[in-house]
Amino acid sequence: SGVVRNTESLSQLLSIMKTQTSSHSQRLAVLEARDKYIRLRNPQSTTRSGLNLEHVSLKGTCPDMCPERERYSRSAKNQLRWFEKESGELNHFAAVKEHSRSAADQDVPLSHELRPASVLNKTLTFLMCNIVDRIDYMGGTMLQWFSFVDQCEQNCETYVEP
- pLDDT tens track for 74-126: 999 999 988 899 999 999 999 999 877 666 667 788 889 999 989 988 988 88
pLDDT score, position 154: 73
**Confidence band for 49, pLDDT divided at 50, 70 and 90:** low
> 142 or 68: whose pLDDT is higher?
68
Percent of the chain surpassing pLDDT 70 = 72
6: DSSP letter = T
CA distances for 142 relative to 39, 41, 92, angstroms: 41, 46, 24
96: number of Cβ within 10 Å: 24
Average pLDDT over residues 37-51: 68
Cβ pair 35, 52 in contact under 8 A: no
